[in-house]
Homo-oligomer: A and B are copies of this chain.
């Protein structure tokens, strides 16, 4: 067990690798991770020394063609996935579409995709779109998060869940649910949007079939960074991709008229990779070199426990929306208040950046790589000032269609 001093030094080192603006306590890395300092130079190099100077030759000579798999392997290390099982491509929504179609196809005797009402909406939308269009009586069934285990029966083809709830931070037990699903003959898909870089994830050890996740939250890959997709080795060569694009072909530059999927994880690729965004993500991952997720998770628990204690002591009008048990919680803490939107705006105006999720959730993410215990105390103190003084603009009750 590392001493607190060891951890302070470790995370002071990682914090120094970010370009954080002055006067800001950033508790929204679960929505958009901040800029690692090395990214600007890397992107500039890609634009000028590679695209500009090497032109088309950079696809080979600068390694652009192989970058998607290389970055996938780097993410793999953070989620317990072996080399050759993670590909970076497209968006989380589209990657979910790929693996949901694959899972339904692999378990085609069954009709139900099981998810929960706490899942991020895009996951539900993708499942709605796909089940409505595929042949057979496929359907999406959603239950309350606490009812998932009981709802796994022999009609379920696929259990499709997000490990950590985007609003409350409630965390599913990935190992238990994966085991129960397998016992019932179902496959599992985990969305790791709020897990990768926040929690210890052990995809291989847990026997997960498929996973997807986001490059721009705790992995700090930049706005709209490409997403990742994991396929367990046992399934890879059994997938007939519905999104059958040329970069996922066994020989893209043979220009075959017929699609033949590439071996292994490469068939999860579709079109030409977004090089600028990929290079930014690759550079951003340098922060993680040598970092042990167990220490990140321990530090995250320290930070979230501290925030809950400080806010509950000072802000009685706020109701904890997250699980009180740290093991049942991701790396975020949420509180409810009916004027939450306006309160969050007041906080942001005072340099504490969290975000708001309708209808009443104030959401705070704690990324140990750059959030310190003293930031947590300051944020709680500023929140207490706002609450005590009722310093928010009550006319700003809610604003639709904006990101924050």
Q: Which residues of A contact B (CB under 8 A)?
A: 19, 21, 24, 26, 28, 31-32, 34-35, 39-40, 43-44, 47-48, 50-53, 55-60, 64-65, 90-94, 97, 101, 117, 120-122, 124-126, 128-130, 132-135, 142, 167, 216, 222-227, 240-247, 249, 251-259, 270-278, 280, 348, 353, 355, 357-358, 400-404
Contact = CB atoms under 8 A, between A and B. Distances in A.
A246 B43 contact: no
A108 B152 CA distance: 35
A125 to B, nearest CB: 4
Contact of A222 (B225, B257, B275): B275
A19 B276 contact: no
Number of chain copies forming the complex: 2
B47 A32 contact: no
B56 A31 contact: yes
A94 B225 contact: no
Nearest to A403: B59
Contact of A276 (B222, B227, B245): B222
Given A43-B43, A246-B121, A402 B253 contact: yes
A217 to B, nearest CB: 10
A91 to B, nearest CB: 3
Q: Which of A31, A240, A252 has the most CB atoms of chain B within a 10 A radius of its CB?
A: A252
Given A39-B47, A93-B271, A122-B271, 7 more contacts: A26-B55, A28-B55, A40-B52, A44-B44, A65-B402, A124-B257, A126-B244
A228 B128 CA distance: 25
B280 A47 contact: yes
Given A121-B255, A257-B117, A274-B274, A52 B243 contact: no
Contacts of A270: 91, 93-94
Nearest to A65: B403
A253 B21 contact: no
Contact of A245 (B91, B135, B167, B223): B91
B91 A47 contact: no
Given A121-B249, A121-B257, A358-B253, A55 B40 contact: no
A91 B271 contact: yes
A97 to B, nearest CB: 6
Contacts of A227: 271
A12 to B, nearest CB: 20
A128 B94 contact: no
A101 to B, nearest CB: 8
A56 B122 CA distance: 20
A28 B55 CA distance: 9
Contacts of A241: 129
Contacts of A348: 57
Contacts of A91: 90, 245, 270-272
Nearest to A59: B403
B21 A53 contact: yes
Contacts of A19: 48, 52
B403 A126 contact: no
A29 to B, nearest CB: 9
A40 B355 CA distance: 31
B56 A28 contact: yes
A97 B223 contact: no
Most buried by B among A222, A225, A270, A273: A270
B48 A40 contact: yes
Given A59-B403, A90-B90, A94-B271, A358 B246 contact: no
A125 B222 CA distance: 31
Contacts of A400: 251, 253-254
A87 to B, nearest CB: 14
